Amino acid sequence: MTSGTSPLEFNAAKYSQGELCIEQMPLSKIADSVGTPAYVYSKSYLTEQYQLLTNALAQTPHRIHYSVKANSNLAILALFKSLGAGFDIVSAGELSRVLAVGGDPESVIFSGVGKSTEEINFALKAGIGCFNVESRSELLRIMAQAELLGRIANVAIRVNPNVDAKTHPYIATGLKENKFGVTKDEALALYLLAAEHPAINLTGIDCHIGSQINEAEPLLQALTSVLELRDALERHGIELEHIDIGGGFGVRYQDESPLDIEAWGASVGQILGGRDLQLRIEPGRFLTANAGVLLTRVEYLKASDEPENKNFAVVDAAMNDLLRPSLYQAWHEVLPVRQSSDAQTLEWDIVGPICESGDFLAKQRSLALAEEDLVAVLSIGAYGAVLASNYNTRGRAPEVLVDGSEFKVVRRRETIQDQLRLELEQADH
Ligand code: LLP
């Protein structure tokens, strides 16, 4: 399905007087100040996306738990906290980030198939709002640890509804073949088991069927399926307060027809039909993806004389800064920061300096490029900086948050000293 609009129509980046800007801030000014590569985010765009979701669910008692994994920068967490969000975490590290911005532990839900004993204990002591439990073994471990610590664990069981999210196979989670959650039958057995345990407080049901879902139908199917289980549990005398349908709300990167969030919200309201139940969602990408760009500079152009050969634009960002194209064959728009150029328009593969042929940010893009030009890779606010690595001993790029005509560096560039420290501390070099 395609809708044919330009990525600029749904992105935080816009041209103003021939210069690509985030809000009122020209990207060239940010490059002058912090260098390249750099991730740049728009505060107002993040805020507007949050409002869109809130409005879509205006008729439904709900709580938005921002999925920290999408972009865990403290400034972004602080912003969502100020807007009233809770958080969805998958590690003790992410919980520490939430606590570092003064997030209320009660607003935190803890998902993930591999919570360690240390992580469970940390979360119990912090007093988090809910564990989304993904297996019988995990439930037993949480029971034992809660008892040992004299705490009550709030629990939802993650159900795998066996619904096809119709997304990239690496980010689909709701099929039987995926490692996530338990079947409805197993969930029922686990609820009955947990209901007997004094250290467990059963508060809800959880599911999450995948990411970058652009059709409402699978999401609504999963909701209906989970509601059936909720009603069955009620017949067993187990009353739950919330239903968590995870995240996964798709966005536009290129010309996809994205999920119509308002229509989805209206359908959710209809399905819930005035039940006395809180809806929880765990959005990540929807809130952050199109809020940011990766700003990079062209180092070298390798144009070919042979028409059948490729032209390469080697930029200073690489797969260690943005893994999505290499890992999921993801498409990200690439735009020049300055619109006018004397250079000839050619078809370029935009590649990084890393020693792998899989190190590319975009392929076959018609652009007028000259060496030292700045270009922006769009839609990198979700799963951009968080997937960065130090491969080839490259320092991680800084993150910048723009607010109107001002910007703030919200994570500084990683230095070589930052990288060497952990090893120099250990070894007799
Ligand atoms: N809740 C759970 C339990 C999840 O596993 C995820 C994402 C989310 C919420 C948030 O999903 P979102 O609303 O952001 O779609 N690295 C991949 C995406 C991996 C998603 C993993 N789980 C990418 O770059 O496309």
Question: How do residues 250-304 score in pLDDT, each as one tens digit?
Answer: 999 999 998 999 999 999 999 998 889 999 999 999 999 999 999 999 999 999 8
Strands (E), 352-415: 360-368, 374-378, 399-403, 406-411
Domain limits for position 280: 43-286
Minimum CA distance residue for ligand 1 atom 6: 247
Calculate the CA 260 to chain-centre distance: 19
Which residue among 241, 265, 286 closes a domain?
286
| Lowest-confidence pick of 6-20, 50-64, 138-152, 171-185 | 171-185
With a 6 A CB cut-off, is 87 part of the ligand 1 pocket?
no
pLDDT band at 379 (very low <50, low <70, confident <90, very high): very high
Residue 1 pLDDT > 70: no
Nearest ligand 1 atom to the CA of 289 is 14
Residue 171 pLDDT > 90: no
Can you give the CATH number for the domain in which 206 is found?
A: 3.20.20.10
Can you give the CATH number for the domain in which 36 is found?
A: 2.40.37.10
Residue 200 pLDDT > 80: yes
Q: How far apart are CA 66 and CA 50, in angstroms?
A: 9
Which one of 21, 130, 207, 355 is the catalytic residue?
355
Supply the pLDDT for residue 76: 98
Residue 428 lies in a domain: no
Give 364 Cα–ligand 1 centroid separation in angstroms.
Answer: 28
Give 336 Cα–ligand 1 centroid separation in angstroms.
Answer: 29
357: Cβ–Cβ under 8 A, 6 or more apart, which residues? none
Which residue among 265, 286, 307 closes a domain?
286
What is each CA distance from 262 to 44, 139, 184, 273, 386, in whole angstroms?
20, 36, 29, 17, 29
Specify the amino acid at residue 151: R
Residues 246 and 327 in one domain: no
Residue 116 lies in a domain: yes
Q: Per-residue pLDDT tens for 60-81? A: 999 999 999 999 999 999 999 9
Supply the pLDDT for residue 4: 56
Give 86 Cα–ligand 1 centroid separation in angstroms.
Answer: 16
With a 6 A CB cut-off, is 131 part of the ligand 1 pocket?
no
Q: How far apart are CA 335 and CA 316, in angstroms?
A: 15
Supply the pLDDT for residue 324: 98
Nearest ligand 1 atom to the CA of 283 is 13
Residues 265 and 120 in one domain: yes
Residue 3 pLDDT > 60: no
Residues 244 and 299 in one domain: no
Residue 342 lies in a domain: yes
Residue 378 lies in a domain: yes
Nearest ligand 1 atom to the CA of 285 is 14
For residue 232, the SS3 value is helix
Give 317 Cα–ligand 1 centroid separation in angstroms.
Answer: 23
Average pLDDT over residues 319-346: 97
Mean pLDDT (the chain, rounded): 95
Nearest ligand 1 atom to the CA of 158 is 3
Contact between residue 196 and residue 236 where contact means Cβ atoms under 8 Å apart: no
Residues 221 and 359 in one domain: no
Residues 67 and 156 in one domain: yes
Supply the pLDDT for residue 392: 98
Residue 226 pLDDT > 50: yes
Phi, psi of 158, deg, nearest 5: -85, 120
Largest CA distance in the chain: 75
Best probe residue, ligand 1, of 285, 321, 323, 324 (max atoms within 8 Å of C-beta)? 285
Residues 191 and 294 in one domain: no
How many domains in the chain?
Answer: 2
Residue 124 or residue 181, greater confidence: 124
The answer to whether 21 is a known catalytic residue is no
pLDDT band at 429 (very low <50, low <70, confident <90, very high): low
Residues 259 and 406 in one domain: no
pLDDT band at 169 (very low <50, low <70, confident <90, very high): confident
Residue 83 lies in a domain: yes
Residue 186 pLDDT > 90: yes
Average pLDDT over residues 351-359: 96
Residues 181 and 54 in one domain: yes
Q: Per-residue pLDDT tens for 397-428? A: 999 999 999 999 999 999 999 999 999 998 77
Q: How far apart are CA 301 and CA 296, in angstroms?
A: 14
What is each CA distance from 249 to 6, 130, 212, 220, in whole angstroms?
20, 22, 6, 12
Supply the pLDDT for residue 166: 78
Q: How many CA atoms, within 13 angstroms, populate the side-chain half-sphere of residue 122?
A: 17
With a 6 A CB cut-off, is 379 part of the ligand 1 pocket?
no
Give 210 Cα–ligand 1 centroid separation in angstroms.
Answer: 7
148: Cβ–Cβ under 8 A, 6 or more apart, which residues? none
Contact between residue 178 and residue 160 where contact means Cβ atoms under 8 Å apart: yes
Residues 145 and 271 in one domain: yes
With a 6 A CB cut-off, is 247 part of the ligand 1 pocket?
yes
Nearest ligand 1 atom to the CA of 212 is 15
Give 316 Cα–ligand 1 centroid separation in angstroms.
Answer: 27
Residue 2 pLDDT > 70: no
With a 6 A CB cut-off, is 174 part of the ligand 1 pocket?
no
Residue 136 lies in a domain: yes
Residue 173 pLDDT > 80: no
Residue 179 pLDDT > 90: no
Supply the pLDDT for residue 422: 95
Supply the pLDDT for residue 79: 99
Residue 195 lies in a domain: yes
Residues 296 and 280 in one domain: no
Give 214 Cα–ligand 1 centroid separation in angstroms.
Answer: 14
Residues 324 and 408 in one domain: yes
Best probe residue, ligand 1, of 64, 68, 69, 389 (max atoms within 8 Å of C-beta)? 69
Residues 263 and 367 in one domain: no
With a 6 A CB cut-off, is 324 part of the ligand 1 pocket?
yes
Residue 191 lies in a domain: yes
With a 6 A CB cut-off, is 244 part of the ligand 1 pocket?
no
Which residue among 233, 255, 286 closes a domain?
286
Best probe residue, ligand 1, of 211, 245, 252, 377 (max atoms within 8 Å of C-beta)? 211
Residues of the chain above pLDDT 90, percent: 90
Supply the pLDDT for residue 170: 75
Tokens at 260, concatenated? 């119509």
Give 374 Cα–ligand 1 centroid separation in angstroms.
Answer: 30
Residue 176 pLDDT > 90: no
